[in-house]
Amino acid sequence: MSSTSSVVLNTGVSMPLVGFGTYKLCGSEEVFQAVDAALHSGYRAFDTAAVYGNEADLGRALRKLLPKHGLTREDIFITSKLGPKDQGKRAMEGALHSLSELGMDYIDLYLIHWPGTQGVAVGDPCNPGNRAESWAALEELHAQGKLWAIGVSNYTPAHMQTLLQSCKTPPALLQVEFHPRLCQTDLRRVCEEQGVCFQAYSSLGKGELVKHPVVVEVAKGCERTPAQVLLRWAVQQGVPVLPKSSHPARVQENIGLFDFSLDVAAMDRLTALDDGHKYCWDSSEVA
Ligand SMILES: NC(=O)c1ccc[n+]([C@@H]2O[C@H](COP(=O)([O-])OP(=O)(O)OC[C@H]3O[C@@H](n4cnc5c(N)ncnc54)[C@H](OP(=O)(O)O)[C@@H]3O)[C@@H](O)[C@H]2O)c1
């Protein structure tokens, strides 16, 4: 990747604009092969979560593969996330478990994965209290140097406002679904105003959006692939992305974003696809 392919978080730390998503990668062999292909292609950031069940496999793969690629722990950026079952009282334990599964002394970025708590109804008024308790635990681990940056995922503008008004340490990043069919204008405005990095997940619409006729046409027009067009649309707006693939050729394709750009007409055509469509889950009902 080029030197312009990173963003600086409000902690002063730099994070690559393209990270490797690991959702659905499962089993030590599949994780190992994918991480090998990702490091080979130039990825230096990896996104996992307690609920993906692959933190230990990712940690093991990196310990074996970093020396092979002439890299050290300091050369890579690891994101993981607190599982909804650990929201609230168990948050400290949950985050320490992620550290131990990864086999690392620190995690570069740790997120509250979901605004709700597993087993608690979405409308239950104890959800905000649980989130606040989780955030306090993350703040403590951040102060201890175990979590270098902390943030949230799947928060709505209302969840963000509450957190921003009550926190001691402001969130460094918000990770949400983002692609031309879901432009998240309100959330992006909150993040921009508050200095919170806005990061995209499911930029390829879980593999579905690459087939959209407008995306295919824009890709033909600039002689790139539909996946590259979708990812470039985000990074050209300064939004970090996390493409996931189990296929080495696609892993490489998905990071080839910095030797072309989309013209204004192509950007506008893609942005005009916004119809609020979500390929993933919806957190708007969580109290
Ligand atoms: N915080 C959250 O709640 C949350 C939610 C969802 C995702 N995420 C993170 O974001 C990452 C990415 O999101 P995602 O995995 O949901 O979806 P995605 O990146 O939008 O799409 C992944 C799908 O697209 C396919 N694909 C990948 N590259 C392709 C290419 N070049 N051409 C055509 N198809 C391609 C993959 O299949 P193959 O593997 O077969 O190539 C896979 O089925 C996740 O892995 C995870 O790390 C976070």
Q: E strand or H helix at 185, and its extent?
A: helix 185-194
- Strand 20-21 relative to strand 197-201: parallel, antiparallel, unpaired? unpaired
Q: Ligand 1 centre and the CA of 165: distance in Å? A: 33
Residue 227 forms part of a structural domain? no
Is residue 194 scored above 90 in pLDDT? Answer: yes
Judge whether 286 lies within some domain. no
Closest among 77, 144, 147 to 112, alpha carbons compared: 147
Q: Is residue 46 part of a domain?
A: yes
Q: Which domain holds residue 121?
A: 14-209+239-259
What does the pLDDT look like over 89-134, one tens digit per residue? 999 999 999 999 999 999 999 999 999 999 999 999 999 999 999 9
Tokens of 167: 């926190």
Determine the atom of ligand 1 nearest the C-alpha atom of 200.
10
Residue 3 pLDDT greater than 50, yes or no? no
pLDDT of 198 reads 98
pTM score of the predicted model: 0.98
The pLDDT confidence band at residue 35, using thresholds 50, 70 and 90, is very high
Q: Which amino acid is at 171?
A: P
278 found inside a domain: no
pLDDT at residue number 2: 53
The answer to whether residue 21 scores a pLDDT higher than 60 is: yes
Residue 270 within any structural domain of the chain = no
CATH code where residue 43 lies: 3.20.20.100
Q: Does 52 qualify as catalytic in the annotation? A: yes
Average pLDDT value for residue range 165-178: 98
Q: Is pLDDT above 80 for 251? A: yes
Decide if pLDDT at 258 tops 60.
Answer: yes
Establish whether residue 199 lines the binding site of ligand 1, counting it when its CB lies within 6 angstroms of any ligand atom.
no
Can you give the pLDDT at residue 4?
Answer: 52
Over range 38-44, report the average pLDDT. 98
Residue 132 lies in a domain: yes
* Ligand 1 binding pocket includes 246 (Cβ within 6 Å): yes
Instruction: Give the mean pLDDT of the chain.
Output: 97
Q: Is residue 272 part of a domain?
A: no
User: Residue 39, Cβ neighbours under 10 Å: how many?
Assistant: 23
Which residue out of 30, 52, 54, 201 has the highest number of ligand 1 atoms within 8 Å of its CB and is therefore the one to mutate? 201
Look at the chain and report how many structural domains it folds into.
1
CA distance 154 to 117: 13
Is pLDDT above 60 for 1?
no
Q: What mean pLDDT is predicted for residues 186-206?
A: 98
Residue 221 lies in a domain: no
